[in-house]
Structure 1
Amino acid sequence: MLIILGGLPGVGKTSIARLAARELGAIHLRIDTIEQAIIDCGVVPSDEMGPVGYVVANRIATDNLRLGHLVIGDAVNPIEVSRAEWREAARMADKPFVQIELICSDCDQHRHRVETRKSDIDNLKLPDWQKVCDREYHSWAEADLVIDTALQTLDASADMLVSFVRERIATI
């Protein structure tokens, strides 16, 4: 199964994805890691990245799904076309998918997270609060689950995700 995970920067995607990947034994594909590696190699400048990182992640996801792995795609997925490409990656592997949007309904808490987080990827420049606010982002009309990370801890949010995925897997 492919877990398509998304939400604005600072809502807790990577923290929750890591916790869930450990619990589920899933492969964690993080767009930030892929895109920064491409930038560090000088292949594409950061301001011209476009869909490159997403295309790479989708192809790696398909390969791993075909091998029978559970995969978590960790990305902002700001618009429908990026989400559709993840769904296509699952379809190419003939595997199911779930779409999970993370939000943080408490604006002050979200801003605090964005302003205080540290990057764990060499050379990655995290967006500031203004860039997060200015980013084009469309809510997910087709999300299977929306988790509001302002309402509980990251551990509890990860537990919600894991429980949801296990229930879905049990019905396949």
Structure 2
Amino acid sequence: MSDTARLVVVCGLPGAGKTTVAEAAAERLGATLVRTDAVRKELVAEPTYSSRESQRTYDEVFRRAATRLAAEDSVVLDGTFRRAARRDRARTVAVDAGVPFTLLRVTCDEATAKARIRAREDDESDADAAVYDLLCEEFEPVDDPIVVDNSGDLDATLARVREIL
């Protein structure tokens, strides 16, 4: 068991600013950042976002996290994690590795999120406003998250990440 390694999961809807928060968390902790969007595109040339494809993506994300944690490195996972079962599995990965687990739920108002989605360029995420609406309906309740409200300016968000970690 490492005295310094930990697993941080950054979850939330598209456009909320998960990657911004995850990158700041990874930098703050000197952690490995694993993005579900990037892993999916490594595994599948033309993603369809089917349940099977998502399961394969998350399986690989958890495998990578477990490998890094076993090497006593901290890991930050960046993804929607809209299903409680996936958040629970991440917690289990941390427990199995004997490291602390932190769940960050990134939020922001809908108008800001959709404006960010429309403004994306050269981003690994394929989510658009329709995906936002679908995931908003499907997002299962999060038990006991630490909330990072990313509706305001970047400095406030980064200060919140520093405060938490």
TM-score by length of 2: 0.86
- SS of 1:69's partner is coil
Structure 2 stretches lacking a partner, 5+ long: 1-5
2:36 counterpart residue number? 31
Q: Deviations over 1:125-157 (max 9, x none)?
A: x122122111211231221x111111x323431
1:90 counterpart residue number? 94
Structure 1 stretches lacking a partner, 5+ long: 166-172
Q: Assess if the C-alpha contact under 8 Å between 1:20 and 1:159 holds in 2.
A: no
Distance 1:57 1:155 in 2: 29
Find 1:118's aligned residue among 118, 121, 137: 121
Distance 1:32 1:155 in 2: 25
Find 2:111's aligned residue among 90, 93, 108: 108
Find 1:137's aligned residue among 136, 139, 157: 139
- SS of 2:9's partner is strand
Q: Assess if the C-alpha contact under 8 Å between 1:16 and 1:154 holds in 2.
A: no
1:90 maps to a residue whose letter is: A
Displacement over 4 Å in runs of 4+? none
1:142 maps to a residue whose letter is: D
RMSD across aligned positions (CA): 1.8
1:169 counterpart residue number? none
1:113 maps to a residue whose letter is: R
- SS of 2:147's partner is strand
How many residue pairs end up in the alignment?
157
1:91, distance to aligned residue in structure 2 (A): 1.3
Q: Assess if the C-alpha contact under 8 Å between 2:10 and 2:21 holds in 1.
A: no
2:3 counterpart residue number? none
Distance 1:53 1:127 in 2: 16
Find 2:26's aligned residue among 21, 34, 37: 21
